[in-house]
Structures are given as structure tokens and as C-alpha cells.
Chain A
Amino acid sequence: MGTITFFVLAVAASALAVLVFVVDSMARATFCLLGSFLAAAGEVILLGLSYLGTVIVVMMVMEMVIMAVFMVMYMMNPAGLMPMSMVHNRRGSLAIAGAVFAGLAVGIVAIRWPTTPRRRPVPRATFELGKALMGPHMLTMVLLGVTLFSTMVVTVMLAVSHGRYDRLGDDLKGPDR
């Protein structure tokens, strides 16, 4: 049962990932990407990380819906009504991507992995993760928090059309003083 689920999800994740760059419509590409993410999150859940898999599902659904809005904003062809090619150097990209996959696949197959896999998932994996993030990996958690906060500041600064220096001049005193 687990093997069948793995193959179904793996084929779905890979096929939908390829479809992202094949379909004409940008909106369809976004939802193909969402499908690929959901299948990959299913694999993560299958591996025993149910909490992280669920987090990925919830996050990706929101992220792709927002992405669809940006797609419609910035794309010339949001609904796929006017098929057009938006690629450059397709042959070179295919060659590089194929070579990278071949190299990785050779490594994955050739390496002698340890012969004693852990058959059963750790029963309290989420608890272990929380304990690690609040203990030995606290620095990681703090850095992630600071990174997310600075991301909020930076994205707002980049996205506003005019800052206070544009409105008020370099001395911030305003044009009428």
C-alpha cells in the first residue's frame, strides 16, 4: 500500500512539475505547481513527518493562490488565450537540467546507503522537532524569526511606489518649509 501511494504521488509530483513549464496558461501553470507541491507534501507525510507535511500543504495552498493573483497582474497571457513562447535557450537549459538529473541519479544509485533503515517512524517526531527548535537549534529558530521580520520590512519598502525621501526631500523637511 505504501509503495503504491509512493509511486502515485511521485508520478503526480514529477508530471505536474513538468506541466508547469508546458501549459500555455499562466493560471494553469500555477495550479499545476500547487498540485506538484501537494503531491510532494504527501510524500513527506508518507515519510512520517505528518506535521511538517501538513504545514507545507497549508502554506502552499495560500502561496499559490497569491501567486495566481500576481500571475494575472504581471503576465501577458494569464488565461492561455494567446499561446506564446516565453522561453530562452530551451535546448541549453534542457541539456543542463538533464545532465544535473543524470549526475544526481548516478550518485543516488551508485552510493551504498546504510543497510539498516529505520523501519518505523519515531512516534513523537513533532515533539522532537519542537524540543530541538527550542533547545539545541534555538539559533536557527531565532535567525528564521529575524529573517521573516526583515523580509516583511524589505518587501514593503520595495513595493511602495514612493518613500518618505521622495515626498519630503533629503532633509525630510518637506517641500513647503
Chain B
Amino acid sequence: MSIQGFLLLAAALFSVGLFGVLSQQSIVMLMMGLELMFNAVTVAAATFWRYLGPGSPSDQVVVVVAVVAMAVEMAVGFAVTTAIFRARDVDVVDAATDLKDEP
């Protein structure tokens, strides 16, 4: 087990999440990609705590912040999905074109 191994895992999770965020049309699938990216932050912060932080709990606080951010992201994401579905009958990102420039 090396610091590189853990950080490569975090990089892989972040990249897979980024692919999901960029490529998925469904709003819920897009949020799954975001969650994966937050998960990568969690793994990376825990790695830094273990290998670099000299007994400082600040990296653990970063993990707590990332976990709370995941919870908030999911709650607000579903609320926004519900609101835009009610108002515009939109459930894919391509259909949410209210702010799009008319060609």
C-alpha cells in the first residue's frame, strides 16, 4: 500500500465521475457522477491524513465536509429535479433550454 495507489484510485473515481457528469442526459445519472467525484475527494483526503498530515485532524475535517456536501448535493439536486419537472416537464438536461440562446 502506497500513497500513489490510494491517490490513483481517487483519480480514477474522479475521472469516471467526470465522464458521467459530462455525458449523461438524465439529471439523476448526472448527480451520480457528481457523487462519484465527491467520493474521490473523500478517499484523497483520507489518504493525505494517513500519509502526510503529521497528526493533524484537518484532513479528517475535509472528509466530513465532503460527506456533508454529498448529502446536500443529493437533497438539493432531487428538489431541483422535482421543481423543474413540475414547472417545465423536463427530466433530461438537454430539455432544460430556458436560458439557451436562440440561434
Contacts and interface: CB of A to CB of B under 8 A. Distances in A.
Interface of A: 2-3, 6, 10, 13-14, 17-18, 20-21, 26, 29-30, 33, 36-37, 40, 43-44, 46-49, 52, 55-56, 59, 63, 66-67, 70-71, 74-75, 86-90, 92-94, 96-98, 100-101, 104-105, 108-109, 113-114, 117-118, 121-122, 125, 128-129, 131-133, 137, 140, 144, 147-148, 151-152, 154-156, 158-159, 161
Interface in B16-51: 16-20, 22-29, 32-33, 35-36, 39, 42-43, 46-47, 49-51
Contact of B49 (A14, A47, A97): A47
Interface of B: 1, 3-9, 11-20, 22-29, 32-33, 35-36, 39, 42-43, 46-47, 49-52, 54-55, 57-58, 60-61, 63-65, 67-68, 70-72, 74-76, 78-83, 85-86, 91-92, 94
Contact of A100 (B15, B28, B50): B15
A108 B25 CA distance: 32
Interface centre among A3, A104, A125 (most CB of B within 10 A): A104
Given A29-B29, A40-B42, A47-B47, A2 B1 contact: yes
15 contacts: A2-B1, A3-B1, A14-B16, A17-B17, A36-B36, A48-B49, A92-B22, A96-B22, A108-B8, A131-B57, A132-B58, A140-B65, A151-B72, A155-B75, A155-B79
